[in-house]
Amino acid sequence: MQAAMPKPDEKYLRLLRDNRFKATEPRIKILKVLDLSPRPLTATEIHRKLQRSGIDLATVYRSVNKLAEAGLLVRVGLGDEFTRFELRREGHRHHIVCSTCGTVGNIERCNLHELLESITKSTGYHNIEHEVLFRGECNACYLNRAAIVVSE
Ligand SMILES: [Zn+2]
Ligand SMILES: [Zn+2]
């Protein structure tokens, strides 16, 4: 590791302070777990990942909701009864869920702008927000199914 690198948790500390949050240990740990996770997580999943640090589930719930209200986290709906959270990043992303195994993929680029413009034109609505969830068959499930078909 390079000597000039900031301490790994400093980024979260700064993020909290920049948003007028007290940089408590649970908050820092929650931000880190979400930052390192390849997919959005529920409060329960975050809690499970933090088990060793002795942070209780109620604290996780309270923290993620506060952080989401402040805009540091984004609430993600994946079409089931759970609310998941992810770190807010530059721009916004969408998700795609495998209908077979539930694996979640990230769609980093949103190019729905043209559609939104045409909606403004046809409806007269401005500042349109959108929530879109894509579903499909992940590559593993696709290949798996293809293999079964071949062997039949
Ligand atoms: Zn799948
Ligand atoms: Zn979008």
**Residue 84, strand partner residues:** 42, 76
* Cα–ligand 1 centroid distance for 105 (angstroms): 10
Give the per-residue pLDDT at 151. 67
Give the per-residue pLDDT at 135. 95
Backbone angles phi, psi at 141, to 5 degrees: -65, -40
* Cα–ligand 1 centroid distance for 97 (angstroms): 8
What domains can be seen in the chain, in order of their start residue? 1-89 (1.10.10.10), 91-152 (3.30.1490.190)
Q: Which of 100, 88, 84, 92 is nearest to 131 (CA)?
A: 92
> Which ligand gives the minimal distance to the CA of 144?
1
Element (H, E) at 83: strand 83-87
> Which ligand gives the minimal distance to the CA of 143?
1
* Cα–ligand 1 centroid distance for 104 (angstroms): 9
Give the per-residue pLDDT at 140. 96
Label the pairing between strands 94-98 and 133-136: parallel
* Cα–ligand 1 centroid distance for 17 (angstroms): 39
* Cα–ligand 1 centroid distance for 62 (angstroms): 32
* Cα–ligand 1 centroid distance for 102 (angstroms): 6
> Which ligand gives the minimal distance to the CA of 99?
1
Q: Which residues make up the environment of ion ligand 2, defined by Cβ < 5 Å?
A: 110, 112
Alpha helices in 19-56 (DSSP H): 25-36, 43-49
What string of pLDDT tens digits covers the 152 residues of the chain?
555 556 778 999 999 999 999 999 999 999 999 999 999 999 999 999 998 999 999 999 999 999 999 999 999 989 899 999 999 987 788 999 999 999 999 998 888 889 999 999 999 999 888 888 999 999 999 999 888 776 66
